[in-house]
Amino acid sequence: MRSPPPCVVFIARTHAIVGGTIVVSVALLHLFTRRLPQIEFRVTSYGVTGGLAALYLGTAALVWFGVPPGRLLSRVCALLYLPRFNFGSLVWETMNREAFKAHFRRG
């Protein structure tokens, strides 16, 4: 299998880094607070953050392999980056490139 174009690698890597950061952050937070009775996280907290991590990591995989729903999910995930204008606009413009769109059209 050929490697995807650089613009696709950039977007997939960005989503994977965010997903991985969520997983590592939750693991460290659990490790440091599990013995503190004042700080308690319910199962719902882990479910929401686990769902977010799964969304970002799943989107990274879908973008990498060019699965069509990955394009829409990538837009949804990229909303997080928009407040950082220099980075958010770069990600958004990268997803507008023809090479990125063509990656999802090939069979």
Tell me, yes or no, whether 71 lies in a domain. Answer: yes
The DSSP line for the chain is -PPPPHHHHHHHHHHHHHHHHHHHHHHHHHHHHTT-TT----HHHHHHHHHHHHHHHHHHHHHHHT-THHHHHHHHHHGGGTTSHHHHHHHHHHHTSHHHHHHHH--
% residues pLDDT > 90 (the chain): 79
Q: Give this prediction's pTM.
A: 0.91
Tell me, yes or no, whether 21 lies in a domain. Answer: yes
Provide the domain count of the chain.
Answer: 1
Tell me, yes or no, whether 100 lies in a domain. Answer: yes
Tell me, yes or no, whether 85 lies in a domain. Answer: yes
Tell me, yes or no, whether 36 lies in a domain. Answer: yes
Predicted confidence band at 85 (pLDDT cuts at 50, 70, 90)? confident
Domain containing 94 equals 6-105
Each residue's pLDDT tens digit, 9-55: 999 999 999 999 999 999 999 999 988 889 888 999 999 999 999 99
Tell me, yes or no, whether 45 lies in a domain. Answer: yes
Give the pLDDT mean for 2-15: 94
Q: What average pLDDT does the chain have? A: 93
Tell me, yes or no, whether 1 lies in a domain. Answer: no
Tell me, yes or no, whether 73 lies in a domain. Answer: yes
Q: Is residue 72 scored above 70 in pLDDT?
A: yes
